[in-house]
């Protein structure tokens, strides 16, 4: 193992001149490196603590923490619940563990359900009563949904329900009235689309679907749709990267789009609160960035969306190897490159997604993205490249704030650390302080069915 050490940096020029580098602290919640929390036995072995990183599993699939738009971490009532996707001899399984903050102990590994392949990872949220809700399983199949049998525990679950047809990539949020909102991609012989389902009560059936997004032409399409509520938990915000085919065998088109709904997803507006007709496409909605896979176009990915206490939406996206935090002000999207804030030792690295953004109750945004060696130019080669490391950026809300950064993964030249998923408020579980980050340590595999033994890690450093 050849580990690299990177030092976190403080990041306005004025701050750098007066304060220099930020302290690289060695914390895991209230435990130091020398005093690791007690071990919770279960599943595939004991929890292992290395520096500020806790290894939760050694059975991680090639996309164990993948699909950043699907939240996988919930903290509430003194517990942190974490979900991910393992691969074992019997296939793919959605699993979870819970950290009891007071005891400093992790639970055993709980198996929530089977997944079809490495696309079937979970999305989790929490309602006002403390019940956990998870959607998972599909790759062009029905989604599976389960509710925890008791509040704030993953030890037992109600029977699963099946939702939709030909779906992939579920994302789940909960509003102020405990209504669940579930989006997914739907494949078809014609135009692929993103649909929304709703569940008004725990004992109610699922309503929908509402087709919110649609590709402009037939053939493969991908929607990185992420959702977040404003502070009133009533206005729903959605960001997405639409990857779609162009006619005549031209390279695919990619577009970053934002939408909002004040009536539970029935109608939608753009960033200027102008009504848009459903289904929304890449040419009838407000566009934040445009690109594609053509020779002279930037390749785009979208991270997650979060909403500040004043109702301002923030989101994360990249153009090739430059990643931006973007926020809405007076009907226009502002952007700020995070590349100039890369930690010492990574200044020349490319910065790209998968990744995500969260907003904490103390008025900071926190973003995670993947830094990869500058020698890796092609977007396909960046996928699971061994040089990949997870970097966290933190800044106060607003345009002129200082930004700090640090590597939160365990640097290793031979093992990719990637697919970061940041804890976000998707229901009744506010993010206080610095949100947790989970990530995958290991290869992506060659097919969607590969059974791998990747590490699944969580970093809760402050």
Query: What does residue 13 show for φ and ψ, rounded to 5 degrees?
Result: -60, -40
User: pLDDT grade, residue 52 (50/70/90)?
Assistant: confident
Q: What is the pLDDT of residue 12?
A: 32
Query: What does residue 186 show for φ and ψ, rounded to 5 degrees?
Result: -125, 125
Nearest to 116 by CA among 95, 138, 86, 94: 138
Contact 159, 193 (CB under 8 A): no
Residue 131 burial (10 A CB sphere; 0-12, 13-18, 19+): buried
What count of residues does the chain have?
A: 462
pLDDT reading at 208 higher than 90: yes
Note the pLDDT tens digit of each residue in 310-361. Answer: 999 999 999 999 999 999 999 999 999 999 999 999 999 999 999 999 999 9
The average confidence (pLDDT) of the chain is: 89
The residue whose two tokens read 């819970």 is: 98
Note the pLDDT tens digit of each residue in 225-258. Answer: 999 999 999 999 999 999 999 988 899 999 999 9
Give the predicted TM-score (pTM) of the model: 0.90
Tokens of 205: 């059936």
Which of 56-60, 103-107, 202-206, 240-244 is the least confident region? 202-206
pLDDT reading at 4 higher than 70: no
Nearest to 391 by CA among 8, 13, 4: 8
Nearest to 8 by CA among 49, 52, 40, 48: 52
Q: What is the pLDDT of residue 299?
A: 94
Work out the angle at residue 10's Cα, subtended by the Cα atoms of residues 456 and 354, and round it to the nearest 5 degrees.
Answer: 35
Nearest to 67 by CA among 420, 383, 391, 321: 420
The residue whose two tokens read 């590490």 is: 455
The residue whose two tokens read 């919930």 is: 74
Q: What is the pLDDT of residue 37?
A: 28
Provide, rounded to the nearest whole percent, the portion of the chain with pLDDT above 90. Answer: 83
Strands 206-214 and 193-199, how do they pair? Answer: antiparallel
Q: What is the pLDDT of residue 202?
A: 81
Query: What does residue 7 show for φ and ψ, rounded to 5 degrees?
Result: -105, 135
Which sign does the torsion angle of CA 372, 444, 218, 116 carry?
A: negative
What is the Cα–Cα distance from 321 to 301, expressed in whole angstroms? Answer: 10
pLDDT reading at 197 higher than 60: yes
How remote is the C-alpha of 231 from its chain's centroid?
A: 20
Omega into 279 within 30° of 0, i.e. cis?
yes
Q: For the chain, what are the domain ranges?
A: 35-354
Beta bridge mates, 297: none
pLDDT reading at 19 higher than 60: no
Question: Residue 279 CB: number of other CB atoms within 10 A?
Answer: 17
Residue 73 burial (10 A CB sphere; 0-12, 13-18, 19+): buried
Q: Of residues 272 and 202, which shows the higher confidence score?
A: 272
Count CA within 13 A, CB hemisphere, residue 454.
32
User: What mean pLDDT is predicted for residues 213-219?
Assistant: 96
Residues 6 or more apart in contact with residue 92 via CB below 8 angstroms: 61, 85, 86, 114, 115, 116, 117, 118, 120
What is the architecture, at CATH level 2, of domain 35-354? 7 Propeller (2.130)
Q: What is the pLDDT of residue 358?
A: 98
């Amino acid at each position: 193992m050849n580990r690299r050490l990177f030092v976190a940096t403080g990041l306005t020029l004025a701050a750098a001149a007066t304060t220099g580098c930020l302290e690289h602290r060695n914390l895991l919640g209230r435990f130091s490196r020398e005093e690791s929390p007690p071990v919770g036995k279960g599943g595939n072995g004991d929890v292992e603590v290395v520096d500020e990183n806790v290894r939760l599993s050694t059975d991680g699939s090639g996309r164990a923490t993948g699909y950043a738009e699907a939240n996988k971490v919930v903290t509430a009532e003194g517990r942190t619940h974490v979900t991910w996707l393992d691969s074992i001899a019997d296939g793919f399984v959605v699993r979870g563990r819970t950290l009891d903050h007071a005891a400093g102990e992790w639970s055993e590994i709980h198996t929530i359900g089977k997944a079809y392949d490495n696309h079937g990872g979970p999305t989790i949220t929490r309602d006002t009563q403390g019940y956990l809700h998870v959607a998972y399983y599909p790759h062009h199949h029905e989604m599976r949904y389960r509710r925890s049998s008791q509040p704030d525990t993953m030890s037992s679950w109600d029977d699963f329900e099946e939702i939709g047809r030909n779906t992939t990539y579920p994302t789940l949020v909960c509003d102020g009235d405990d209504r669940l909102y579930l989006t997914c991609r739907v494949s078809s012989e014609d135009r692929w689309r993103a649909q929304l389902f709703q569940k008004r009560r725990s004992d109610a059936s699922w309503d929908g679907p509402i087709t919110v997004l649609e590709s402009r032409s037939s053939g493969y399409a991908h929607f990185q749709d992420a959702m977040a509520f404003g502070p009133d938990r009533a206005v729903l915000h959605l960001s997405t990267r639409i990857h779609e085919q162009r006619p005549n065998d031209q390279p695919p088109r990619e577009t970053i789009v934002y939408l909002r709904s004040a009536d539970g997803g029935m109608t939608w507006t753009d960033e200027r609160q102008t009504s848009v007709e459903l289904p929304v496409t890449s040419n009838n909605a407000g566009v934040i960035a445009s690109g594609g896979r053509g020779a002279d176009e930037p390749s785009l990915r979208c991270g997650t969306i979060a909403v500040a206490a004043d109702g301002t939406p923030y989101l994360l996206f990249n153009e090739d190897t430059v990643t931006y935090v973007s926020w809405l002000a007076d009907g226009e999207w502002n952007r700020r490159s995070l590349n100039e804030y890369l930690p010492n030792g990574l200044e020349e690295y490319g910065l790209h997604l998968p990744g995500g953004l969260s907003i904490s109750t103390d008025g900071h945004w926190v973003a995670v993205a993947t830094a990869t060696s500058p020698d890796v130019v092609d977007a396909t080669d960046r996928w699971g490249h061994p040089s990949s490391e997870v970097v966290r950026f933190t800044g106060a809300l607003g345009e002129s704030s200082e930004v700090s950064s640090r590597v939160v993964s365990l640097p290793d030249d031979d093992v990719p650390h990637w697919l970061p998923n940041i804890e976000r408020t998707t229901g009744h579980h506010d993010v206080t302080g610095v949100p947790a980050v989970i990530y995958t340590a290991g290869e992506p595999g060659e097919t969607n069915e590969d059974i791998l033994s990747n590490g699944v890690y969580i970093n809760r450093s402050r």
